[in-house]
């Protein structure tokens, strides 16, 4: 009796396809990519805000990589520790130097600015020429916020050397007298200026500035006419920023004022 043989199919090697495991693998891979992206972004933010920390982290990563690579070949741990300590100390010193640099630069800049302001404040008005003296007064007007500042002194100026608009809009007319210490501004100088400053030049504020001083009759005439007198002491305080500008002490022309407001000398 003949028995038929049953052929058996060869089994396929390998695992069967598992949908759940595959989905879980891709899900974990996506989560890993998100975490890696977040870590990279955080590292960039830290590098922008704290460069010193970024240097330390990079050095730490390099050292970790060297340890992993050298560990297989029996790299000396003590030597690696010494090199790592030296690199970290150098990076820390560099970061501290970078942080201290702005602090040391700021006092130096302040000292330099103080020296410059001291140089600007020291002006020998008596040593200037009449034209230079007028220009210095005009520069002070510009510095303190006046507009439309002009130096108009010269032949036929009718007593006006500098004209400007004060910060509050009033018209300022200034006559400049560059005199020596032994030559004071007298009442005749004030009378000539008083005859033109308001009627001809339409001044709201009339100022006479001198590098010397005023006589008593001149100061009395200025007080009666409403002319602001600025002597060398008052001019030096104005120039150095210790005293107000003349228009800051003068009311509208024609109003009654105290002697200290009109005769500043």
How many Å apart are CA 138 and CA 33, to the nearest integer? 70
Q: What is the pLDDT of residue 136?
A: 94
Q: What is the pLDDT of residue 262?
A: 40
Q: What is the pLDDT of residue 114?
A: 47
Query: Which has the closest alpha carbon to 142: 175, 160, 122, 166?
Result: 166
Which residue reads 């759940």 in tokens?
A: 20
How many Å apart are CA 6 and CA 8, to the nearest integer? 6
Q: What is the pLDDT of residues 163-180, one digit of tens each?
A: 999 999 999 999 999 998
Element (H, E) at 151: strand 147-151
Task: Specify the CATH class of 125-262 in words.
Answer: alpha beta
Q: What is the pLDDT of residue 41?
A: 79
**238: Cβ–Cβ under 8 A, 6 or more apart, which residues?**
140, 230, 244, 245, 246
Q: Per-domain residue ranges for the chain?
A: 22-116, 125-262
Query: Which has the closest alpha carbon to 153: 121, 185, 180, 178?
Result: 178
Q: What is the pLDDT of residue 37?
A: 80
What DSSP line would sit under 87-109, residue for residue? HHHHHHHHHHHHHHHHHHHHHHH
The list of the chain residues with pLDDT below 50 reads: 73-75, 104-106, 109, 114-120, 253-265
Q: What CA dihedral angle connects 159, 162, 163 and 169, to 10 degrees?
A: -130
Q: What is the pLDDT of residue 165?
A: 96
Q: What is the pLDDT of residues 5-42, one digit of tens each?
A: 555 555 555 556 567 777 777 788 888 788 878 777 77
Q: What is the pLDDT of residue 260?
A: 36
Q: What is the pLDDT of residue 245?
A: 94
Query: What letter would DSSP give residue 230?
Result: E
Query: Whole-structure pTM over 0.75, yes or no?
Result: no
- Half-sphere exposure of residue 145, counting CA atoms within 13 Å on the CB side? 10
């Amino acid at each position: 009796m003949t028995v038929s043989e049953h052929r058996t199919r060869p089994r396929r090697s390998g695992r069967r396809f598992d949908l759940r495991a595959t989905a879980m693998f891709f899900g974990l891979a996506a989560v890993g990519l998100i975490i890696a992206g977040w870590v990279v972004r955080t590292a960039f933010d830290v590098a922008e805000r704290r460069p010193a920390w970024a240097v330390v982290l990079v050095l730490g990563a390099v050292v970790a990589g060297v340890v992993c690579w050298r560990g297989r070949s029996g790299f000396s741990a003590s030597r690696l520790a010494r090199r790592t300590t030296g690199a970290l100390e150098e990076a820390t010193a560099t970061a501290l130097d970078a942080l201290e640099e702005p602090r040391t630069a700021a006092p130096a800049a302040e000292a330099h600015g103080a020296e410059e302001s001291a140089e600007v404040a020291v002006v020998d008005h008596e040593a200037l020429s009449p034209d230079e003296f007028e220009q210095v007064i005009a520069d002070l007007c510009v510095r303190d916020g006046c507009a439309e500042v002009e130096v108009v002194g010269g032949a036929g100026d009718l007593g006006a050397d500098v004209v400007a608009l004060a910060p509050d809009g009033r018209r300022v007319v200034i006559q400049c007298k560059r005199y020596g210490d032994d030559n004071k501004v007298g009442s005749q100088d004030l009378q000539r200026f008083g005859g033109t400053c308001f009627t001809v030049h339409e001044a709201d504020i009339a100022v006479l500035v001198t590098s010397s001083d005023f006589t008593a009759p001149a100061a009395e005439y200025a007080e009666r006419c409403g002319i602001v007198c600025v002597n060398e002491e008052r001019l030096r305080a104005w120039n150095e920023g210790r005293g107000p500008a003349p228009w800051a002490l003068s009311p509208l022309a024609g109003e009654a004022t105290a002697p200290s407001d009109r005769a500043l000398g």
